[in-house]
Amino acid sequence: MSTASSSLTGLMPKFRDRAVCAEVDPEMFFPDKGQSPRAAKKICLGCESRTQCLEWALSRGEEFGVWGGTTPTERRDLRRGRHSDGSHAPGDQHDDPDDTRPASPLAAA
């Protein structure tokens, strides 16, 4: 193992040892522009490390790739307190005071 790869290994979070993505080609989680992230997200669905992976990506502002089953756009929305359908989480401040969308589709349930 080279010095560079041993240094990189030290930067990887511990949950990665149990993650399903460690068993597949990492390029799958960094699709090129225009390619679907669907295959990577499907792998994340069955992973026991999914929540820790997402928390790790959110805490570091990860701007690229699929982490914890989310795309960069989905993580950006989560950081802004929005759901993937564009609605806001209950109790969150709206960015736009003219935004009249419901707080959450689950709030009415």
User: In sequence order, what are the residues at sequence separation of 6 or more whose Cβ sits closer than 8 angstroms to the Cβ of residue 18?
Assistant: 48, 49
Q: Which residues are annotated as a binding site for [4Fe-4S] cluster?
A: 21, 44, 47, 53
Tokens 């080279």 sit on residue: 2
Q: Cite the DSSP H helix spans in 28-70.
A: 38-45, 50-60
**63: nearest Cα among 16, 30, 18, 108:** 30
Q: Could you tell me which residues are annotated as the binding site? A: 21, 44, 47, 53
Residue 74 backbone phi and psi in degrees, to 5: -65, -40
